[in-house]
Amino acid sequence: MGSPVSVRLDDDAQEVLEAAARERGIGLSTYLREIALREARRIRKERIRAESRDVAEYVAASPEAQAFYADWGTPTAEGGKR
């Protein structure tokens, strides 16, 4: 488990978030942790997709990269290359 984080909320935001937490039957801290973890996963996936796009763009523009992938091949279900 990570380290505790302190967050200052204005009264209105805190009331809204506490109500949402109560509706779910959990405390505010648990609710905020769930929101933060969900957002961290979304950001991580977004970064992976962006890096994958960068690689695809590089391969599309680079004859050397295209040759590497052509030589590397596509794995088959039998474990060989196509």
pLDDT tens digit at each of 82 positions of the chain: 789 999 999 999 999 999 999 999 999 999 999 999 999 999 999 999 999 999 999 999 999 998 888 887 776 777 665 5
Return the structure tokens found at 66. Answer: 């295209």
Question: Which pLDDT belongs to residue 31?
Answer: 98
Prediction pTM value:
0.69
Question: Which pLDDT belongs to residue 63?
Answer: 92
Question: Which pLDDT belongs to residue 71?
Answer: 80
Q: How far is residue 53 from each of residues 50, 64, 73, measured CA to CA in Å?
A: 5, 18, 20
